[in-house]
């Protein structure tokens, strides 16, 4: 079976009857939970390869869990004074759409933006997904109100910072919400103001040495910044800042086809992430460099287990090997299969015309 076919199969096999995609079916710390960030890219992968029903089921489920929290969003918006991060909407949900009762690094805004972006992509490709309107409006209201707050990043770290990749995800999500055409005039105006605010903030404080920075004030790069170029287009590939960001992420973080999250990463010893090779390949493909893109696709495929499953990261060239054992003791072996890795493989394969 090709890795495209296996990826579609793994994602379908583990999709819950609720529509939720579990991040990883068997990994101790993720089991039983679905993240909007992971799910949005997984849905984008299967939506591109003809599983319109599976993607739509995920989008309906996401819209439902967000709409269920419309009251919470209203009360957050009308609250005065600083709000503790733990009071904001959750980062991950049980497969039945509940909050879950074991503490997590809650308050991450990017997933809500990425979900809106993925829903709009799917809608453009396959038509509107019924029963998503209230979820779209709730997510847009939430992001328009809170986009400027610091929160945890894609890697669920540094809640005290404003992360440029998070801002890029929100920027794409709010533009998508407007394009979906379901916002009220007031919601549309608030979303447009937030989009303009993000652009102004990132151009004033999010760029260093002509490329994007990990968080406002940091000089580091981060693999998640790739998404600010392709697919989110905060700075497109033909803008000098977009081109310089991809080039600098590749220079600092790519090694032999794999991509590190950031140089100080210690999670499982800081290995190379399969899904980030997908983002870098995607950027090369869109910038008209298919051979470079193909190198990343091939590296991703080479990380599959004998049964074809893709892990979250590979530990053969770790940045901080002394930290690996600690994570093995805590959570067991690296999450495999990680459905987001398979989703990214599907996206990059589609960019390169590789089908099942």
Q: Interface with ligand BGC by CB under 6 A: which residues?
A: 23, 30, 35, 37-38, 154-156, 340
Q: Do 198 and 147 touch, CB atoms closer than 8 A?
A: yes
Report the interhelical angle of 274-286 vs 240-253 (nearest 10°): 140
DSSP run (H or E) holding 260:
strand 258-260
Q: Which of 106, 156, 187, 250 is catalytic?
A: 156
CB of 24 to ligand BGC, least distance (A): 6
Orientation of helix 110-126 relative to helix 52-67, angle to 10°: 140
250 is an active site residue? no
Residue 147 or 340: which CB sits closer to ligand BGC? 340
Helical residues (DSSP H) of the chain, grouped into ranges? 3-14, 36-48, 52-67, 70-77, 110-126, 133-146, 164-180, 185-205, 226-229, 240-253, 274-286, 290-302, 324-331, 339-351
Q: What are phi and psi of 22, to 5 degrees?
A: -70, 145
Whether 238 is catalytic: no
Least gap, CB of 340 to ligand BGC (angstroms):
6
- Whole-number minimum distance, CB 223 to ligand BGC, in Å? 10
Catalytic residue among 38, 153, 324, 350: 153
* Residue with smaller CB distance to ligand BGC, 163 or 178: 163
Measured CA to CA, the distance from residue 40 to residue 66 in angstroms comes to 14
CA angle 342, 343, 344 (to 5 degrees): 90
Catalytic residue among 51, 110, 312, 324: 312
In the bound complex, what is the minimum distance in angstroms from residue 103's beta carbon to ligand BGC?
A: 15
Q: What is the rounded CA–CA span in Å between residue 84 and residue 88?
A: 8
Residue of minimal CB distance from ligand BGC? 23
- Annotated active-site residue 291? The verdict is no
Residue with smaller CB distance to ligand BGC, 23 or 202: 23
Phi first, then psi: give them for residue 35, nearest 5 degrees: -105, 140
Minimum distance from residue 35 beta carbon to ligand BGC (Å)? 4
Q: Is 75 exposed, middle or buried (0-12, 13-18, 19+ CB in 10 A)?
A: exposed
Q: What is the 3-state secondary structure (H, E, C) of 173-226?
A: HHHHHHHHCCCCHHHHHHHHHHHHHHHHHHHHHCEECCEECCECCCCCCCHHHH
Residue 30 to residue 25: CA distance in whole angstroms: 8
Comparison of 182 and 320: residue with beta carbon closer to ligand BGC: 320
3-14 and 36-48 helices, crossing angle to 10° = 130
Nearer to ligand BGC, 146 or 273 (CB): 273
Our CB check for ligand BGC shows the closer of 164 and 287 to be 164
As measured in angstroms, the least distance from the Cβ of 309 to ligand BGC is 14
* Shortest spacing between CB 282 and ligand BGC, in angstroms: 17
Nearer to ligand BGC, 163 or 211 (CB): 163
Token pair of 32 as six digits: 């039983």
Give the residue numbers annotated as catalytic, written as ranges: 153, 156, 312
């Amino acid at each position: 079976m090709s890795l495209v076919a296996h990826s579609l199969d793994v994602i379908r096999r583990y999709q819950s009857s609720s529509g939720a995609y579990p991040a990883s079916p068997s990994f101790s710390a993720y089991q039983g939970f679905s993240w909007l960030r992971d799910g949005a890219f997984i849905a984008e992968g299967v939506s591109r390869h003809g599983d319109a029903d599976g993607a739509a089921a995920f989008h309906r489920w996401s819209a439902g869990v967000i709409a269920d929290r419309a009251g919470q969003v209203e009360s957050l918006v009308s609250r005065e004074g600083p709000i503790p991060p733990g009071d904001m909407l959750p980062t991950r949900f049980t497969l039945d759409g509940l909050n879950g009762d074991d503490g997590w690094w809650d308050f991450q805004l990017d997933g809500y933006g990425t979900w809106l972006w993925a829903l709009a992509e799917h809608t453009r490709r396959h038509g509107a997904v019924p029963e998503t309107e209230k979820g779209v409006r709730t997510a847009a209201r939430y992001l328009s109100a809170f986009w400027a707050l610091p929160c945890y990043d894609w890697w669920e770290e540094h809640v005290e910072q404003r992360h440029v990749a998070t801002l890029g995800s929100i920027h794409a999500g709010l533009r998508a919400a407007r394009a979906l055409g379901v916002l009220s005039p007031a919601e549309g105006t608030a979303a447009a103001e937030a989009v303009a605010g993000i652009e102004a903030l990132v151009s004033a404080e999010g760029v260093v040495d002509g490329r994007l920075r990990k968080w406002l004030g940091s000089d580091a790069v981060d693999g998640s910044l790739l998404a600010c170029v392709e697919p989110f287009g905060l700075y497109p590939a033909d803008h000098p800042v977009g081109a310089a960001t991809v080039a600098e992420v590749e220079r600092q973080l790519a090694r032999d086809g794999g991509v590190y999250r950031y140089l100080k990463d210690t999670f499982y010893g800081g290995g190379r992430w399969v899904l980030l090779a997908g983002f870098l390949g995607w950027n090369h493909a869109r910038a008209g460099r298919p051979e470079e893109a193909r190198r990343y696709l091939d590296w991703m495929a080479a990380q599959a287990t004998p049964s074809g499953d893709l892990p979250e990261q590979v530990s053969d060239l770790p940045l901080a090997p002394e930290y690996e054992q600690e994570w093995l003791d805590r959570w067991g072996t690296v999450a495999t299969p990680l459905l987001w890795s398979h989703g990214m493989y599907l996206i990059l394969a589609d960019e390169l015309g590789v089908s099942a």
